[in-house]
Structures are given as structure tokens and as C-alpha cells.
Amino acid sequence: MIAPFGVYVHIPFCAHRCDYCDFATWTDRDHLVDDYVAACIDDLRGRATPPATSVFFGGGTPSLLAADRLVAILDAIERAPGCEVTVECNPDSVDAAKFARYAAAGVDRVSLGAQSFVPHVLRSLNRTHDPGNVAAAIGWAREAGIERINVDVIYGTVGESLDDWRRSVDAVLELGVTHVSAYALTVEPATPLGRAVAEGGAGAPDDDDQADKYVIVDDLLAAAGLENYEVSNWAVPGAECRHNVLYWTMGEYVAIGCAGHGHTAGARWWNVRTPERYIARIGAGRAPESGREELDAGGRAEEAFTLALRTRWGAPIGPLAAPAATALADLTEARLVEATGGRVRLTRAGRLLASDVTARLLLSGIAVAPGPAPRDPGTPAPGVGAGTRYH
């Protein structure tokens, strides 16, 4: 079997900046698009990477590029048979022809940013799309033969009632998609929302309200056959995102484009943040990397444990020293974790407190060296580990 290997391509362009978003993306750099695409292709050609088992175009808004430009980047990536190729799309920037072009080039998965299906919540998020555009986009994707479809939604916007949220989740379910990412609205300081909250012009999301909404989405999706497989991700079994599973299992991937993060040969590294600097680096024949972190064995074990614990497969545990055994017993009694078959998993109550539970377990010294990554997300190999928002 071919070893999993991922390629992440960052597309830093958006038509409109949403008030809550702090991703590396710009709305005034259309003039850079041609040079940026050319730089991504040059960057790919200059790397000797194994055939990719997953490719993820994230952003920003990859679907904002003309389909031929995105496909030109995809064509420069050597891909293994059956490679998963995902494109993040904004419902406002897709049509039937674009999806047909994607599908012909090997795109087999799309991720649509819907955020909410309730008009007043969309307005509060400063989103511009009509909720009906999401259903239209899904129809075009299916016509093109793309069946693996994710919808992103956000919960906990101030002014969103529990019924509003139920309406949004019901609307997602009516679309019949096989994958849903539901994120608690996070107030990022360097955004219009962050500044408004800091200045008292807007309220901050309420933790208890977000916890109630997490329970609602988990119940409704589970009842419809979408299983939670990472704190913020649900899928029909077999429809998990292989690329994201690679992130959560310490797999290897390269980052193409500005602001992308890679993980190869035991190091985490990241590229320069702006498209201008990325284009300049590649144009000068220099690597786009702007920083890297080599993790020692202890750091890798902790990172692997943290990521794996967020997944439904949980994290492997070895023989436990007294502090770890005590922490595990306490958290088990509090019904925040379950430990069976040599692994520890978060319960739903534990998922709501994932960061605290993880911190408590790491402090106890529970983390052990990571094993090999599971090949098939549906059936992780025994003894193996598998958010935050990824892409």
C-alpha cells in the first residue's frame, strides 16, 4: 500500500472579507492571481515529493480562481491512484461548468462554506450569500459526479437562538451531504468582529449557549447517520476527509502557497504569509519557508496524543505511571473519557471540554510515542492515534 502523503495548496483570495475570519486571505489582490498560480506550479515542480494520496485546496476561497487555473496547479501534483482531491468553495463563486471542469481534472470532494441557513444569522456574520445558493452548488457538484460533499457551519453567533441553530442543522440534513464540519464561532482579535467585541460594540459568544448547540448538532447529525469522528467533524462512515485525518494522525504533507503549513521528516514548517512574498521567493529560486520547528520525541508524543484524542479512535495509552493512572481514573469517573482496548477516547461531555481534558492528561505524563497512522480512517490500525479548524 502507498504511504499516505498530502499536499495542501493555499489560495489566499476572497471576494469579500467576513467579519469573523482571520485566515490568510485578501480581497484586493486579483492582480496577483496569475503570478501566484505560476509560483505554486514552480514550487511544486521544484520539489521531489511522493505521489499524493490527498490534495486539499484551502483558503481563502479556492473556487474564486478560474477553474483552469486551479486545474493547472492540480495537474502539477503527482497523484497516487484514488487520490482524494478537495476544493474549498464559497457558494457564491461556483457554477455547473466550474464543477464539471473540477471533476474532469480529478476533484472528487468539495467543501462548501454555508455557516448558517438563517438570514439574520448570516447577516450578523457579514456573509453575502443567499442560503439557496448552497443547495444549487450541491446540485451542480452532484451533476458533475462529485458526491463527497462537506458543508461548514458555524454556531454561537450572538442573536442566534437554539431554534435558529436547529433550523440550520435541519437545512444541512435536507441537503443529504455525507460530511459536516460545525465550528463554534471564535472571536479572533485581529478581525472586525474581534475589534467590535473588544470595543464593546458587539457581544461575545456565550460558552453555555455554544455547548447547548454542540449537543444539538451532535444529536441531530448522529440520528441521521453522521458519526462524530473529530470534535468538530461528522461523516457518514467511509466519508471522512482523508486529508484531515492525515493531519490528525501526524501524517506527512507539504504546503504550497503562502501561509501554508507542512509536516515532513519530523518537522513542522510554514511558508511566508503574504502572496507577494511567496511570489518573490519562488521567483528568486528560494524556498518559501519562513519558519520551522523540529519536535523532540517528547514533543511529538504530546502532539500526537493531543490530535488523536480529538478523534473517535482516541489516543493509545501504554502502561501508566501513578499520576497518569490517577488522572485517567478521575476523568473516567467524571465521564469525560473512556479507556478501553489500550486507548483513551473523549465522551461527548469530554469533547465539550477537550482542551481542559487534554491538558490534564498531558500534565499527568500519559502521552506515549505515536504509532503508524491509520490507512483507512474508518478502521484505524490498533495502537494508533488520529480541532481546531483545519482547512
**How does DSSP classify residue 51?**
P
Residue 275 interacting with ligand SF4 (CB under 6 A) = no
Three-class SS of residue 385? coil
Q: Min. distance of Cβ 213 from ligand SF4 in angstroms?
A: 19
**Single-letter code of the amino acid located at 101:** R
- What grid cell was written down for 122? 448570516
Question: What does the alpha-carbon distance between residue 233 and residue 253 come to, in Å, rounded to a whole number?
Answer: 20
Sheet of 179-184: strands edge to edge?
227-230, 233-235, 179-184, 148-155, 109-115, 79-89, 52-59, 5-11, 252-256, 261-264, 267-271, 289-294
Quick one: which of 20, 56, 57, 117 contacts ligand SAM (CB under 6 A)? 20
188 binds, among ligand SF4, ligand SAM, none (CB under 5 to 8 A by kind): ligand SAM
DSSP string, 222-258: HHTTPEEEETTEEESTT-S-HHHHHHHTT-EEEEEST
Residue 113 interacting with ligand SF4 (CB under 6 A) = yes
Three-class SS of residue 7? strand
Whether the bond into 266 is cis, omega within 30 of 0: no
Residue 17 interacting with ligand SF4 (CB under 6 A) = yes
Residue 25 interacting with ligand SF4 (CB under 6 A) = yes
Quick one: which of 4, 39, 57, 61 contacts ligand SF4 (CB under 6 A)? 61
- Shorter beta-carbon distance to ligand SAM: residue 74 or 112: 112
- Shorter beta-carbon distance to ligand SAM: residue 70 or 368: 70
- What grid cell was written down for 188? 479572533
Three-class SS of residue 344? strand
Q: Using alpha carbons, select from 123, 138, 133 the residue that is nearest to residue 18.
A: 123
Residue 164 interacting with ligand SAM (CB under 6 A) = no
Quick one: which of 42, 75, 188, 227 contacts ligand SAM (CB under 6 A)? 188
* Piece of 35-43, 57-65, 116-124, 297-305 that binds ligand SAM (CB under 6 A): 57-65
Quick one: which of 60, 257, 314, 316 contacts ligand SF4 (CB under 6 A)? 60
- What grid cell was written down for 141? 457538484
Q: Min. distance of Cβ 320 from ligand SF4 in angstroms?
A: 42
* Piece of 16-24, 140-148, 164-172, 352-360 that binds ligand SAM (CB under 6 A): 16-24
**How does DSSP classify residue 177?**
-
- Shorter beta-carbon distance to ligand SAM: residue 114 or 220: 114
Using CA atoms of 139, 140, 141, 144 in order, give the dihedral in degrees to the nearest 10. Answer: 120
Polymer length in residues for the chain: 391
Residue 377 interacting with ligand SF4 (CB under 6 A) = no
Quick one: which of 5, 8, 23, 253 contacts ligand SAM (CB under 6 A)? 23
Q: Min. distance of Cβ 221 from ligand SAM in angstroms?
A: 15
Residue 160 interacting with ligand SAM (CB under 6 A) = no
- 341 and 384 Cβ atoms separated by less than 8 Å: no
- Shorter beta-carbon distance to ligand SF4: residue 18 or 386: 18
Residue 154 interacting with ligand SAM (CB under 6 A) = yes
Quick one: which of 115, 150, 249, 271 contacts ligand SAM (CB under 6 A)? 115
- 261 and 251 Cβ atoms separated by less than 8 Å: no
* Piece of 179-187, 276-284, 312-320, 347-355 that binds ligand SAM (CB under 6 A): 179-187
Cβ-closest residue to ligand SAM?
113
> Which sign, positive or negative, has the C-alpha torsion 279, 285, 289, 290?
negative
Residues of this chain that interact with ligand SAM (CB under 6 A) are 20-21, 23, 58-59, 61, 88, 90, 113, 115, 152, 154, 183, 185-186, 188, 389
Residues of this chain that interact with ligand SF4 (CB under 6 A) are 14, 17-18, 21, 23, 25, 59-61, 90, 113
